[in-house]
Amino acid sequence: MPGALEGTTVIALEQAVAAPFATSRLADAGARVIKLERPEGDFARGYDDYVHGQSSYFVWNNRGKESCTVDLKRPEDMGLVEAMLARADVFIQNLAPGATDRLGIGSTALRARYPRLVVCDIGGYAPGTPDESRKAYDLLIQAEAGLAGVTGSEASGPTRVGISISDIATGQAAYAAILQALLQRERTGKGSHLQISLFDTIAEYLNVPYLTRRYGGKEPRRIGLAHPSIAPYGVFHASDGDILIAIQNEREWKVFCDEVLGDPAMPADPRFERNTARVQNREELDRRVQERIGGFTIDALATLLDRVRIAYGRVSTMADLAHHRSATTARVETPEGAVELMAPPVIVDGQRPSLRRVPRLGEHDQPLRHEFCGRPETIRRGLARGAKS
C-alpha cells in the first residue's frame, strides 16, 4: 500500500538487480531507502545507456532512494555505515559471500547489537551448501538450476528466459520476506535474519518440471511457445501473424471445435477427447488446428475468440507493448529528465503508487553524512561498535 512503510528506514548495501529490485518496492511503499554505493557506483549504472544516457536496469530498480557513496576500506565510512545501521529497521545486502562478516556488519554481529533489526542477505547459493562461496549471476543460475533446459525449443537448445528472471524473482522473494519479518517484529519486538538465494528461488519455481521428472520419470521437453501439459495451448499462424490460443478445460475444447474449427465431431475422436490424449497426440492436433487457423487474419480470429470466450494472446514485440491498449505507464524523474516505466502492478483503492526520483551517484552524500555523523564523537562511537563486533 502506498505509504504503508513510512517511518521505516532501510539501509541497502546493494548492487546489480536482486537486492535493488526488493528495495525499490520498499521505497514504493513509503520506506526511506538509503542506497550505499561504492565510489564508482553500483555497477548496474553501467549496464547500458539507453535511457537518456542512463542504464535501463538502474532507472527501473532505484527509484525513490537516497544515494550515498562509501569506501568500506575507510574507517570513517564504516563509522558512517554503523551509525546508519544503529537507526535502521532493515539492512539488506548482496555482496560476495562472507564480505559483511569480514567488515564486522554480518548478521550475527548486527543482531547482537540491534535486536530489532531485520537483516536480509541475498546470495547465489544457500548457506551450508557446497556452492555457497561461488559467484552467481542471473544467467548462470538459469542454466545451473535447469530453467534454461526447459526453455526454448528442440531446435534452439537450452535458452535464456528473456529477462533477468533469477534476479527479479529473488528480489520479489526478499521483498515479501522483509514484509513478513516487519509484521513479526510488530508482535514480538524482535528482528529476523533472512537468507535468500537465487538458486533456491529458481529451483522452487521449477517444481512442476522437477516433479514431472522425479515422479513421472519424464524429462520435460523444450517445446517453445506451447504449454508442456495442456493442449491445444500454443502458438498458431494466422494469415498475417502469430497468435497464442489456450484451451483450459473440456467445455472450452468443445466450444472451440464447434465455433472456431467447425469440426464438432473432433472431441469424440479418442486421440483428442481428453487433455492427456491431446498432449500425447499434440503433433496431429496442432496440424489440424493450424489448418483452420491459417485462414483467419489475427483481427478476425480475435473477434471470434472473444465472442466465444476462448483465451488468446498476440505474440508481441516491445514496440507492440509500448502501444498496447492495456499497458499502463508511470512517470519517474531521473537526473537526466523524466521517463515513463511500465507501472507497478498493484492497484490499492483504485490508485497506483506514485514513483519517486532516481538518484544521481552520491547525490545525498553530504546531507546523510551530516545527519548520521555530524559530530566527530558520533563517528568514533560507530567505529567502536564495529571494533567490538
* Residues annotated catalytic, as ranges: 227
What 3-state DSSP class applies to 103?
helix
Is residue 115 a contact partner of residue 181, using CB atoms and an 8 Å limit?
no
Q: Cell for 291? A: 489448418
Name residues whose C-beta falls within 8 Å of residue 202's C-beta, 6 or more positions apart in sequence: 141, 142, 145, 147, 165, 166, 169
Report how far apart, in Å, the C-alpha atoms of 346 and of each of 2, 350, 354 are: 10, 10, 12
Name residues whose C-beta falls within 8 Å of residue 74's C-beta, 6 or more positions apart in sequence: none
Strands 233-238 and 193-197, how do they pair?
A: unpaired
In terms of Cβ atoms closer than 10 Å to its own Cβ (0-12, 13-18, 19+), residue 264 is exposed
What 3-state DSSP class applies to 85?
helix
Question: What whole-number distance in Å separates Cα of residue 142 and Cα of residue 14?
Answer: 21
| CA-wise closest residue to 13 among 96, 79, 76, 128 | 96
Strands 65-69 and 193-197, how do they pair?
A: unpaired
Q: Cell for 54? A: 542512463
